[in-house]
Amino acid sequence: MNDKIIVLDYGSQYNQLIVRRMRELGVYSELVSHTILAKEIQKDPSIKGIILSGGPHAVYEEDSFQIDADIFNLDIPVLGICYGMQLMMHTLGGKVKKGNHQEYGKTTIHVTLDHPLTNGLNQNLLVWMSHGDIVEKLGKDFIETATSTSTPYVMVKHLNKPLYGIQFHPEVSHTPEGMKMLDAFVNLTHANRTWDMKHFIDQKIDDIKTKVLDKDVILGLSGGVDSSVAAALLDKAIGKQLTCIFVDQGLLRLNEGDEVESYFRRNFNLNFIRVDAKALFLKKLKGVSDPEEKRKIIGNTFIEVFDEEVKKLTDVDFLAQGTLYTDLIESGTKSAQKIKSHHNVGGLPEHMKLSLIEPLNTLFKDEVRVLGLELNLEHALVYRQPFPGPGLAIRIIGDITEDKIRIVQESDAILREVFKQEKLNETIWQYFTVLTSVQTVGVKGDQRSYEYVLAIRAVSSIDGMTADFAYIPYEILSNISSRITNEVSGVGRVVYDITSKPPGTIEWE
C-alpha cells in the first residue's frame, strides 16, 4: 500500500492543487472531508502527513469548518495552509481576527528563524497571499519563523510537536519556492515516494471492478481526450462489460467519425456503438441561427439519442463519464463556492437511474494526458486540440445546411494539412475555419462569382480562458488562402481573424 498524505478540505479553490502537488512529489494524496476524526486517521497507518487546506470562511465565524483537535496530538506532521494555519492557531489557544485590509497577490516575506520548510532558502521570499484574516495571537507553544510588513505571523511552528503553519499558498506557481517547501514537508512526514500514474491505473482498476462487479457500464464517447481516456481505463478494467456509445451528430471534422470508430474498434475489447444521427440533428437545427439555441438543440438531441440507445441495452447499471477535477470544482463542491455550472456535470435525465462512474474526477487535464499515454492511447489523440461539444454547428454563422457543413469540413481539413506540413500544429493551441454568412463578389475563371467569406481562426493560449491570435507567416496564410479558394467550392474569399480573447472569444459563436 502507498503511504499517503491527506488534505483536509476547507473549501479553497486551490485544495486539489495541493493534492496534485503531493502526487508530483511522488506521494499518494487525497482530499478528505474536514470532518474526519483523529481516531479514523489513527486506524489508517498509511497516513503519514496531514495538510489543512485554505478556505473562504473565517475560523471565528459560527458554522465555519472546524477540526477534531485530537488530530494535533497524533504525532503525525500537520501543515496548515492559510485558513488551515488560522484554524490551527484558533484551535490551540491562539486568536484570529479580521485584518485591516485583505491581502491578495505577491508579497515578500522575511524568514526570521529556522523553519524546516525554509531550510536552505533565501531570507527574503516571494510568496502568494490570499487572505482577509490574520493571526493576532499564536497558539500555545508556537513560535513565529517568518513575517511580512502587513502580516505578523506568516510562518509558524510548534516548539515540540510536528505542527507547522503558513499563511501563504505554497501550492500555486506564483510562490516560486513553494514546491521546495512542500517537498520539505514531505520529508518531515517520511512518507514513501512511490506514487505514479501506474499506481493510479492499478488503483482505479481495482475501484472500478469492486464497484461494477458483473454489471454493465455505458459511456458516451466523443473522441475527445477525456472520454477517450476514461474509455481506455474502463476497457482495461472491465473490457466487454463496457459499451461506448458514439453519437455521430454529423458535425465532426472531415472523416473524424470514421477515424474514431476504427481506432476504438481496432484497439479495445469494449463494445462500440456508433449512432448515425446526422439526419436528426440536421432536421432539428434547420433554420436555426441563434448560437445559444443551436447549443441547446444539440445538447437536448444528444441526450435524446443517447437515451434511446441505452434503452435498447439490458442490465446497464452504470454511466461512466470523463469528468475532470476542474469540471467539478467549477461547478462547486460541498465546501468550495460555486463559480459556474459545467456542461459535463449532471447532464443526463434522472429517469435513466444510472450510477455514475467518474474515474478521472481527481485529475487535471495534463494528468489525464499522461494517463492516456500510460494507457497506450496514440499521441495524436491524447494531444488533440480542443473541440467544442456542439462541433461545427458553432463554426457556421447563421443557419446550418449540409452544404455549409461540407465547406467547413473541407476547409478545416486543408488548414490542418498545411499546419501539419509547417509543424504549426505543434505550437498553436487551437485552429479552425469559420464559415461566415457573408457572400462577396469575385472572379473565378473569367466569370463573376458570388461566394462565401471564410475565416481562419488560430490562437495561442494556455487554458482557453485568454488567447492571442497566432502569428502565422504571410506565405503560409497565402498558401492556405489559395488552396481553400481553389479547392473548396462555395468559398470566394478567405480572411484571417486577428482578434485576441478578450475582447473576442475563441469560437465565433
Please list the active-site residues: 82, 169, 171
Name which position in 118, 189, 430, 481 contacts ligand XMP (CB under 6 A): 430
Residues 6+ apart with CB under 8 A from 507: 388, 394, 395, 434, 457
Q: Looking at 42-50, 95-103, 110-118, 384-392, which segment touches ligand XMP (CB under 6 A)?
A: 384-392
State yes or no: residue 295 binds ligand XMP (CB under 6 A): yes
Between the alpha carbon of residue 270 and those of residues 234, 239, 288, 457, the distances in Å are 9, 5, 37, 36
Minimum CB separation of residue 467 from ligand XMP in Å reads: 7
Greatest distance between any 2 Cα atoms in the chain = 90
**Site map 449..468 versus ligand XMP, x via CB under 6 A:** ---------------x----
Residue whose C-alpha is closest to residue 197's, from 357, 462, 376, 33 = 376
Cα torsion 354, 359, 363, 366: sign: negative
Q: Assess 386 for contact with ligand XMP (CB under 6 A).
A: yes
| Spatial distance between the Cα atoms of 144 and 154, rounded to a whole number of angstroms | 7
Per CB under 6 A, 390 contacts ligand XMP: yes
Cβ proximity of 64 and 100 under 8 Å: no
> Exposed/middle/buried for 476, CB within 10 Å: 0-12, 13-18, 19+?
middle
By CB under 6 A, residue 388 contacts ligand XMP: yes
Provide, rounded to whole angstroms, the least separation between the CB of residue 325 and ligand XMP: 17
Question: Closest distance between ligand XMP and the C-beta of residue 316, in Å?
Answer: 25
Which lies closer to ligand XMP via its Cβ, residue 344 or residue 485? 344
Grid cell of 55 as nine digits: 478556505
Amino acid of residue 291:
P
Q: Is 389 among the residues that bind ligand XMP (CB under 6 A)?
A: yes
With contacts defined by CB under 6 A, name the span among 29-37, 319-327, 368-376, 500-508 that binds ligand XMP: 500-508
Q: How far is the CB of 389 from ligand XMP (least distance, A)?
A: 3
CB of 296 to ligand XMP, least distance (A): 10
Residue 136 or 507: the one with the smaller Cβ distance to ligand XMP is 507
The answer to whether residues 290 and 297 touch, using CB atoms and an 8 Å cutoff, is: no
- Member of 122, 123, 267, 505 binding ligand XMP (CB under 6 A): 505
Question: Considering beta carbons, is residue 270 or 363 the nearer one to ligand XMP?
Answer: 363
CA angle 326, 187, 49 (to 5 degrees): 60
- Note the residues at the interface with ligand XMP (CB under 6 A): 295, 386, 388-390, 430, 464, 501, 505-507
